[in-house]
Structure 1
Amino acid sequence: MAVTLKVSFEDAAPQAALARASFGAVDMTELMDIVGTVLVNGAVERISSTNVSPDGVPWPKSLRAMLGGGDDGEPGAGNAGPTLHDTGRLMRSITSEAEPTRVAIGSNLIYAGVHQTGATITPKTKGALFFTLANGEQVIATSVKIPARPYLGISQDERADIEDLSLQYFADLLDQELPR
């Protein structure tokens, strides 16, 4: 070989850049908090307006939403609002919790999981369920199937936003001084 170029990461600048990136990867709470905001906003948008799952599949419309015909979400106003948005309580309950290497989003409402994954409701003590539908019809049933209407998850747009935010996070780390 007539000529050789050797590059080593022993030089101060590459070592400092790697140290900043490494340090930033140990505790990404700041990034995870931003990712949580993206995911909460996505869930809120699904409930408040789009009524589609994170993978783009439209939710089955609820009887209440079909009868209401409106979208202001105020109960008893004649405008029942979109599916999963009667009072807005579910939408307002969605929060995120950031940790150094992950973020969790969800709701603490007892019925939140039923809407996310669907459920079959059966009576606990009696032989049948007794309830009134949104149209006023009274029903007696041995079980009721609630379809899944996933509102938590990562859509393609959210995935792209998270990727961009992550790249920017590490790019910013490479431009900073190493914390002491």
Structure 2
Amino acid sequence: MAFAIKIDSNSSAIEAVMSQLLDIDAEKARLYEDIGLALTTSVQERFIGGFDVDGNPWKMSWRARMQSGETLRDTGRLMNSYTYNVLSNGVEVGTNVFYAPYLHFGATILPKTSQYITFAVGSHYRKVKQVVNPPRTQLGINSADEEMILNIVGSFIDEYLLRGT
């Protein structure tokens, strides 16, 4: 048996609201656009504050410590690369920077062709057998993001319904 709700009304105000709700699909792209922009801003705020999705501070990187800089913000390339795509049924947030997953999930980097990884430190070279990058999550939805999304959706519905009445 199918489940259905039928609303019959003699009220033109109710009929107006119901007809608007039927047309809401045409406006969803604007809703997803607002959510995508808000989530992208949230990711960038994590970079600026140096904290993960749960609000925990990122472990300071070796480069940031040596240069009195900020972790994951040497050039700003990764932070500024996060963007969103509006889909027909939602929104996705991400980046096309190839090394983003290694910084988000963490990684152990091993030498490819020799026994050591060699890199410059100022005017000196350093040799190590491996480099361990701890996870520094950037993407994800925390409780503050959930609340923000619910507020965006609520405002969207309020505005959408009030516009036609």
TM-score range, shorter chain: 0.7 to 0.9
Q: Which amino acid aligns with 1:94?
A: Y
The answer to whether structure 1 residue 47 and structure 2 residue 47 are counterparts is yes
Shift of 1:126: 3.5
Change over 3 Å in CA distance of 1:14–1:161 after alignment to 2: same
> Which piece of structure 1 moves more, 129-138 or 26-35?
129-138
Q: Which stretches of structure 1, 4 residues or more, deviate above 6 A after TM superposition? A: none
Shift of 1:139: 1.8
Alignment correspondent of 1:24: 24
Paired residue secondary structure (1:28): helix
The answer to whether structure 1 residue 106 and structure 2 residue 106 are counterparts is no
| 1:87-102 aligned within 5 A | 87-102=75-90
Taking the aligned partners of 2:61 and 2:159, their CA distance within structure 1 comes to 46
The answer to whether structure 1 residue 140 and structure 2 residue 140 are counterparts is no
Taking the aligned partners of 1:121 and 1:23, their CA distance within structure 2 comes to 52
Change over 3 Å in CA distance of 1:22–1:133 after alignment to 2: farther
Alignment correspondent of 1:9: 7
Taking the aligned partners of 2:135 and 2:73, their CA distance within structure 1 comes to 15
Alignment correspondent of 1:174: 161
Change over 3 Å in CA distance of 1:135–1:25 after alignment to 2: farther
Paired residue secondary structure (2:24): helix
The answer to whether structure 1 residue 123 and structure 2 residue 111 are counterparts is yes
Count residues in correspondence.
158
Q: Which amino acid aligns with 1:66?
A: R
- Identity percentage of aligned residues: 29
Does the 8 Å CA contact 2:118/2:125 hold for their aligned counterparts?
Answer: no
Given candidates 55, 65, 85, the residue that maps to 2:73 is: 85
Instruction: Give RMSD over aligned pairs.
Output: 2.4
Cα offsets for 1:34-69 (capped at 9, x unmatched): 111111111111112x11111112111101112222
Taking the aligned partners of 1:129 and 1:53, their CA distance within structure 2 comes to 28
Change over 3 Å in CA distance of 1:154–1:135 after alignment to 2: farther
Does the 8 Å CA contact 1:54/1:150 hold for their aligned counterparts?
Answer: yes
> Which piece of structure 1 moves more, 16-25 or 158-167?
16-25
| 1:50-89 aligned within 5 A | 50-69=49-68, 81-89=69-77
| Higher helix proportion | 2
Does the 8 Å CA contact 1:27/1:101 hold for their aligned counterparts?
Answer: no
